[in-house]
Amino acid sequence: MQTKLKKLGNAIMPVIVVAGLLAGCGNGGDNGNNGKNAASPEASKSANTANTEKAAAKPVEITWGIHFQAQGVVEDSAVQKWLEEKFNVKIKPVKVTDASIASGEIPDIFMLGDPSNVSAYMNQGVLMDIDPNMLKEKMPEYSKDIEKNNALFQTVTVDDKLWAIPMFIDLKPYDLAMLWRKDWLDKVGITKAPETLDEFEKAVYAFAEKDPDGNGKKDTYGLTGTATSTWSSGFYSIFGAFGVEPTMWHEKNGELMNGSVMPETKEALAKLRQWYADGVIDPEFITDTQDSYRKKLYNNRIGVIEEQIAKGALPTSGTVTEMKSLNPNSELVFAKNPKGPGGDGSWDWGVKSNFVVISNKVKDQPEKLEKLFEILRAESSDEETINMTSLGVKGTHWDFVESGAASGATTFLTGFEKQEARDQIGVRLFSFGNITTQAYREKYSNPDLNEAIKTYSSAPNMTDALLFSALPSDGKYKNDLTSLMQKYFAQIISGEIPLDDFDKFVTEWKSRGGDELTKEANEMYQAQFKK
């Protein structure tokens, strides 16, 4: 990959004022040499002037798009002030939205969550293309790690130009597996968490039919799903058991096919349709979300959910502790996704994480560009900077779980357990997340969680062959085709239309842009991803 971005010329080195050094230069003594090596008055005056100018250097003004998951801006937070002092900058934090970008309020630096976002803003002329050689020069530690996942650069490369700095993630705490009501399994006579699709089916039928909550009423279901996802279908582990994930691009015999229209998807729909007809799937699955189905697990309505490993696999995981606080007599157990005729797996984002982008207007501001890369290098490899922006102050906001430890799992201290409280002091707002080096991650990771991810994650069984790259015609067709898929699948599962209407859906999907996207997907795969 070659880009022809003009090399950055006169690099502006960060201003560093070392008090001890300045004091030593002004001692006024002759060290016994009778003034032979003493500086002339003119030279001393010139040096003092230069030092004064350095000390009084005007801060570089940066408009900073805060973390996209943060609810809103917090002005002059503790972390903002710390960054301003450390890097000699003046920060204006802003919340980035499509509306703010459209109005011309474009931050100098911000983060995006998906290649399609990068592509959209690139097409609007918002972003600066980034010279890969500059990235290697300015962020050498991080570049060494990200180049091990070189395909990520292809996800945000258009016309041989790189439009974002990709982030990577290897062990993914948000991978999905199954969280079961173990007390319900015990109640219906099932002695271990299901491992196969047949065992899964037996368990969810028992939950619907054998009164696992013991209230004498037929008011329980096996599971629910999410037809409200913005990117796919819900029921990810069930589709995964048939070897597909709707909306993902899957490689089959050297060609890419979209999981929405593959024959295996019809088989998965047939299974889900039967479960719904038999009263095993909660009829509210069409409107359920991840938050609502957690509440249904807590409130004795369903017996299993797909859950993120970090939220469900450990005794201290959020969903586990919440369940215990709301339902003290309950017991949960985590398990792998069920293995079916097509294998096993659930929706997996692969090594892709988020992306850092820089405003196009910065291209003509070399001093600011240099400063941004200075900050980016620190956010990726400087432990002090990473900790301050993502954790806060050790002993005040966070500490290691193990008393006296210098590495390992961390925990937020009393008063800062919730993200909202941390946002108020600027923690997360100015963090770039997974832009950290592998060495930092290993030092600050939770070994128990790492082991759980290795145990329960089905990655990389089910991830997109293009790593979720944006296709040229995605803007014309993708949202419409996703909505079309969700409508048909909900109607098929609920029995509103026949199963064979899946074939009508495939025809409609292809004619409404699916064929064009398939062509583009295969062209991109051959040009950029096939090894």
Residues 237-256 have a mean pLDDT of 96
CA distances, 386 to each of 148, 357, 404, 427, 434 (Å): 22, 18, 20, 10, 10
Are the C-beta atoms of 485 and 510 separated by less than 8 Å?
no
Cα distance between residue 481 and residue 471, in whole Å:
14
User: Residue 51: is its pLDDT beyond 80?
Assistant: no
Both structure tokens of 136: 């290697």
Per-residue DSSP letter, 174 = T
Cα distance between residue 459 and residue 59, in whole Å:
45
- Span 190-211, pLDDT tens digits: 999 999 999 999 999 999 999 9
Report which residue type is found at 456.
Y
Q: Which of 4-8, 150-154, 340-344 has the highest average model confidence (pLDDT)?
A: 340-344
Per-residue DSSP letter, 6 = P
Report which residue type is found at 502.
F
Cα distance between residue 134 and residue 11, in whole Å:
12
> What is the sign, positive or negative, of the torsion defined by CA atoms of 16, 19, 23, 24?
negative
Q: According to the 3-state scheme, what is the secondary structure of 189-243? A: CCCCCCCEHHHHHHHHHHHHHCCCCCCCCCCCECECCCCCCCCCCCCHHHHHHCC
Both structure tokens of 460: 């990389």
Q: Which residues does residue 332 pair with via DSSP β-bridges, in sequence order?
A: 181
Are the C-beta atoms of 393 and 79 separated by less than 8 Å?
no
Are the C-beta atoms of 341 and 244 separated by less than 8 Å?
no
146 three-class SS? helix
Residues 247-253 have a mean pLDDT of 95
CA distances, 344 to each of 311, 334, 457 (Å): 20, 15, 10
Q: Tokens 């719904």, residue?
A: 276
- Span 443-501, pLDDT tens digits: 999 999 999 999 999 988 889 999 999 999 999 999 999 999 999 999 999 999 999 99
What pTM was computed for the model? 0.80
Residues 179-188 have a mean pLDDT of 98
Cα distance between residue 195 and residue 193, in whole Å:
6
Which residues have CB under 8 Å from 379's CB, separation 6+? 385, 386, 389, 431, 432, 435, 436
Kindly report the number of other CB atoms within 10 A of residue 293's CB atom.
24
- Span 333-388, pLDDT tens digits: 999 999 999 999 999 988 889 999 999 999 999 999 999 999 999 999 999 999 99
- Span 391-448, pLDDT tens digits: 999 999 999 999 999 999 999 999 999 999 999 999 999 999 999 999 999 999 999 9
Cα distance between residue 486 and residue 488, in whole Å:
6
